[in-house]
Structure 1
Amino acid sequence: MPASDTVTDIQGDPARDLALLVDAAREAGAVAQQFTGATARRWDKPDDQGPVTEADLAVNDVLLRQLRDARPGYGWLSEESEDSGARLTRDRVFIIDPIDGTRSFIDGNDTWAHSLAIAERGRVVAAVVYLPVKGMLYAAADGGGAWLNDAPIRVSGRDRLTGASVLAAKPNYDKRHWPGGVPDVARHYRPSLAYRLSLVAEGAFDAMLTFRDSWEWDIAAGDLILREAGAVTSDREGRVLAFNNAHPQVGGVVAAGPVLHDGLMAALGVRKP
């Protein structure tokens, strides 16, 4: 994360909110690592929404208590909490995925993450994606840049789609999505959506995309980290991502540097709004 004096230099509430999220993410990591993924009790969510473990719930409880105690006036949206329309009446809302990549956690991999964000009137203003096993903490506050641990990060400057390194699951390369033909890119994948977004923000990959409707808690933190790293983020139709919706999903995600994002939209046959 940015050093404490750097956080202090970022003026206004986003800096204070970022400091809160960083502390909470580190506490979440300590709690999650008390569980062993393979032996943690697990259940399958209804409607094929994937697994949940006792670690997910324990982390959610810790974050709910710590964050709501610190900001009682903020709304709350979490993958592991029952949703309430009360958040729609709040200017600021926490958007939380206690463990993004639960399957990776169960399998004992190191690519699961805590994804914590605060949105103000639909736009994310403070964000953390923390991978405790890897020791990687991505952070951003509105107007303060994006960071990986103590180092500022920047999106790739690549401007050509051909040969670009793209993080995306196989179904996104179905030809029905690409009226001009599937682009010739270097295909890569990582299981955590929050981690994928963060990897593009640090320039490790040139772009990421998913055309499936995406839950806000999976992408809110990554959205700000990307934008503060110089990327453009949008849904699959090129629209700006907005958060704290009544139904907390957006229409997929496309993220890349500005020129490459234009190239992806063109290849998708989308005229940007």
Structure 2
Amino acid sequence: MDLIEFPSLGRGDLRNMRIAIDSGFRDFTRAYGETLEAIFHPIQVLLVFIENLLIDSPWILVLAALAGLVWGLSRSWKIVTGTVIALLLIGFFGMWEDTMRTIAMVAVCTLIGVVIGIPVGILMARSDRANQLVTPILDMMQTMPSFVYLIPVVMIFGLGKVPGVIAVVIYAVPPIIRLTNLGIRQVPADVLEAAEAFGSNPRQKLKDVQLPLALPTIMAGVNQTIMMSLAMVVVASMIGVRGLGQPVLQAINNQYFTLGVMNGLAIVAIAIIFDRATQAYGKRLQRHLEAVHG
């Protein structure tokens, strides 16, 4: 029985294609690298400002501010107490500065994710064609190995904070896009019909009905974006992003078990704090909306 030969490009053709693509991308970075760096420079300014604010301020004020933020989101003394204890232990073991850098990174990446993700999610919810176009892109973003994101951003921007932020945002933004789209699409049709009966135009329906009712789902997307940003911290440390990821990377390279475990636990503590606070806020929103509309 004859075997059917699978059609494929020759090795020489594949090599030439890869060389052409790589050369084209290098030419692009040489031609537009400085322009792109100028465009993304405000991100670096914002990140450095938040880092300096958290690191240079007295630790007791930063601790009080973070505890106040967690209280504002959760309204739970248990979560606030856990937050204070975790941050005190982080400071006691000498990881305060790296933790503040990590919190600054996650805050900036989450802010950018919200600014990008919510409008894209709204567009997907309002247009089936946009939904069909964007969904495969999100699938690719979520399944692509996170290390791959580092290659193009490093080629364009080199090492530092900005490429780290871009790589983290690419990795972490899909959940908020998907859940914004889902939340708006799940708004009951009878509620939208009632809004139309009162003369609401599409913009008013979105602002006054769809977004408020979808807010708990959107907050779940924010929660997942924060978690994925923290998960990317160690990977981002490979391109010079300072924070809790760098000691972990150092521990891997030098086989420092204690250093790796301690900084890993600090990342876990920050993740739990953000997770519990945002989840509690989402539940509060859900109860409020049920009280208003129920």
**TM-score class, shorter:** under 0.3
Question: Which one has the largest radius of gyration?
Answer: 2
Task: Give the structure with the larger strand fraction.
Answer: 1
Give the structure with the larger helix fraction: 2
